[in-house]
């Protein structure tokens, strides 16, 4: 069996920046074990497998795997796959086109809007399928500082304290006082589920006043094979709950982009819009660009 695939750099308009993603097309005949093996072979933070949809009006059913496990939802595979399908199905376009499509993910259907570009990176956005909510008590300041190799004074800023939030995947959300502290983060243990309450750890700080983004972040998930991730859309989705809790956001929609991947040399810009209604989180949108850097054939 042979399958075509493409590699996209996601949350960037620059090749070899952002977060690389493998998109495997026509994966209907693959077993769970085969998909996990292929994801381990690519060894990227995520590989997404495209299959025929359960509902004809949808674009595809998809499965998302890290090198070690399957995820019910992830942001950079959603953005990258939506762009890959839109570009694949619109090869003959002469100008930028808007495409609406639905991906069937394990978390449920995800509606995506894509602006296909013929001379650069295409753009996609989607409504987060599950509103972020607390996932238990957050880790203590002491536990966070020890796990990240930082001092107690490095943890937290303004009203922000460590927390746990989930919008499909649970993240330990750890605020740090500055970009300098963010750059010093070094996990002291790979057992983050035991020390911080989650296998995925999102560390963030507020951006400087004149930046084009609102926050800067890093994400580590060593227990699932991700030493560090250049861009994490599912973390941004969960981060919407953090912002609703700790920021004084009035009702309405707020654009709060996140810069990630700087320390890895793969800067990524994640578009995040947070909806507030009645002083509570009502929804979130994730957006970003992606550029294809490779394509080929898998022999399975």
Other CB atoms within 10 Å distance of the CB of residue 2: 8
Buried b vs exposed e over 42-66: b needs ≥16 C-beta within 10 Å?
Answer: bebbbbbbbbebeeeebbbbbbbbb
Q: Which long-range contacts (CB under 8 A, 24 or more apart) does 55-61 make?
A: 55/104, 57/102, 58/101, 58/102, 58/103, 58/104, 58/109, 59/85, 59/101, 59/102, 59/103, 60/85, 60/101, 60/103, 60/104, 61/103, 61/104
Q: Which of 46, 125, 223, 273 is catalytic?
A: 46
Report the distance separating Cα 172 and Cα 137, nearest Å.
Answer: 10
- Collect contacts of 186-194 with beta carbons under 8 A, ≥24 apart: 186/148, 186/149, 187/147, 187/148, 187/149, 187/220, 187/222, 188/146, 188/147, 188/148, 188/149, 189/147, 190/222, 190/223, 191/223, 192/147, 192/220, 192/221, 192/222, 192/223, 193/223
CA distance 63 to 56: 17
Give catalytic status of residue 46 as yes or no: yes
- Residues known to be catalytic: 46
């Amino acid at each position: 069996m042979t399958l075509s695939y493409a590699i996209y750099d996601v949350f960037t308009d620059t090749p070899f920046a952002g977060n690389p993603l493998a998109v495997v097309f026509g994966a209907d005949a693959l077993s769970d074990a085969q998909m996990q093996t292929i994801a381990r072979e690519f060894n990227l933070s995520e590989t997404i497998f495209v299959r025929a949809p359960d509902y004809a009006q949808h674009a595809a059913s998809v499965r998302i795997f890290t090198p070690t496990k399957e995820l019910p939802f992830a942001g950079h595979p959603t953005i990258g796959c939506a762009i890959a399908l839109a570009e694949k199905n619109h090869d003959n376009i002469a100008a930028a086109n808007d495409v609406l499509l639905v991906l069937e993910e394990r978390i449920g259907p995800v509606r995506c809007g894509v602006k296909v570009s013929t001379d650069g990176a295409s753009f996609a956005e989607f409504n987060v399928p599950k509103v972020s909510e607390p996932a238990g008590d957050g880790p203590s300041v002491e536990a966070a500082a020890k796990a990240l190799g930082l001092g107690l004074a490095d943890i937290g800023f303004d009203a922000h304290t460590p927390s746990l939030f989930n919008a499909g995947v649970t993240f330990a959300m750890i605020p740090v006082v500055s970009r300098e502290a963010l750059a010093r983060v070094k996990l002291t243990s790979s057992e983050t589920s035991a020390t911080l309450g989650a296998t995925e750890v999102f560390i963030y700080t507020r951006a400087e006043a004149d930046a084009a983004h609102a926050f800067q972040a890093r994400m580590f998930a060593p227990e699932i094979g991700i030493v560090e991730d250049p861009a994490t859309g599912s973390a941004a989705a969960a981060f919407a709950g953090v912002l609703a809790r700790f920021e004084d956001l009035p009702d309405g929609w707020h654009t709060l982009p996140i810069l990630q991947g700087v320390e890895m040399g793969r800067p990524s810009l994640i578009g995040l819009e947070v909806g507030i209604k009645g002083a509570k989180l009502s929804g979130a949108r994730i957006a970003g660009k992606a550029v294809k850097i490779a394509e080929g054939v898998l022999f399975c």
